[in-house]
Structure 1
Amino acid sequence: MKKILLALLILNCQFFLISAENRAIKDATFYLKRESQTLKSYYQQVILQSKNAQYPVFRGRKIIEHSVYNGLTNAQKNALKGELVLSYFILRDFVKYSHLGGVGVGGVLVSEAKDKKPRMFYLKFDGRYLSDLEFLGMGSELYAYCVLPHFNHCILLGIGEDWG
C-alpha cells in the first residue's frame, strides 16, 4: 500500500512539474534561444545554396541570403522581385511605429558587424512584432524573411512560435 501511495505521489509531482513548465511564460527570448541551433544551421544552408543560385523555396517563393543578394547585379536583383531574402542581423535602430504602417527597424548584417563601417539597412515589420522587437532590444541577433526588393512585409523567425 505504501508503494502504491508513493508511486501516486511521484506521478502527481511529475504532472505538476510538467504543468508548471507548460504554464511558464514563453517570450521571444525563450523561443529564439531554443531554436538558435536550428536557425544557424538553416542560415548556413541558405548561404550555401544562394551562392550556387540553387535557392530553397518557401511557400512558392525563392529564398536568397541577404549578403549574397547585395552582391548581385541589378538585372539579377530584378529577376528576384517578389522573392524572399533571409537576413541574419543585429538590431541597431527603431525607425518608426504606426498602426497602419507597422514598425521599421535598422540593422547590420552579423557577417558585416565587425567591419569598420558596417552598412546599415532597414526592414519593415508588421505592427504585431513591435513588442517582441522592443523586448529583444538593441544588439539582438535576429533572423527575418522579407519580400524583395523593398525589404518589407518582414517576419521574424524563431520567436513566439512552437515549431513542433
Structure 2
Amino acid sequence: MAGHVAIIGSGSWGLTLGNLLANKGIKVKIWGRSREKIQRLRETYEDRSRLPGIKLHSSIEFHFDLKKAIDDADLIVLVVPSQAMRDVVSKLSKLSNFPKRIVSAAKGIEIGSGKRMSEVIKEVLGGGGVAALSGPSIALEVAKGEPTSVVVA
C-alpha cells in the first residue's frame, strides 16, 4: 500500500475514500477546487451536506493548491467529475512532482468523445497504466461502514 495518497476531488466519494485510507493509517491529502470548502473541511473535518453524520479522520490534510496536495504522493486517486477530468489531469501532468501511479475512481464518460475516464487519463498523459476503481457503491453508505463491493482493474 502507498505511504501517501493524494485524493484529487473533495466530493462525497473523494472524502469517503480518503477517510477509509486515513483510518488504515495511510497519510492522505485531499485537493478541492473550492477554497471555501477546503477551509471549512480544515476547520470541521465534516461535510454536513454530502456526508451528514460522518466525522473525517483528523490526520487528513486538505489543500486548494494542487502541487501541495500531490507533494510526496506515491499514488494519486482521481475523483473529479467526468467533465473536469481532462482539465485536471492536464494540470497535474505539468507539475514536476507528478507521480506515475494513478487510480481513477470517477464515474461516467466524457461527453463528446464517449471515452471512459481511464482512456481520457491515458490520452492526456500519453499512455501509461491507469487503474480504475468501479462498482455499485454509494459514498454515504460506504462512509457509514455499510457493506459494498468494488473492483480495481
TM-score band w.r.t. shorter chain? under 0.3
Question: Which structure's CA Rg is the greater one?
Answer: 1
- TM-score normalised by L of structure 1: 0.24
Q: Which structure carries more helix by proportion? A: 1
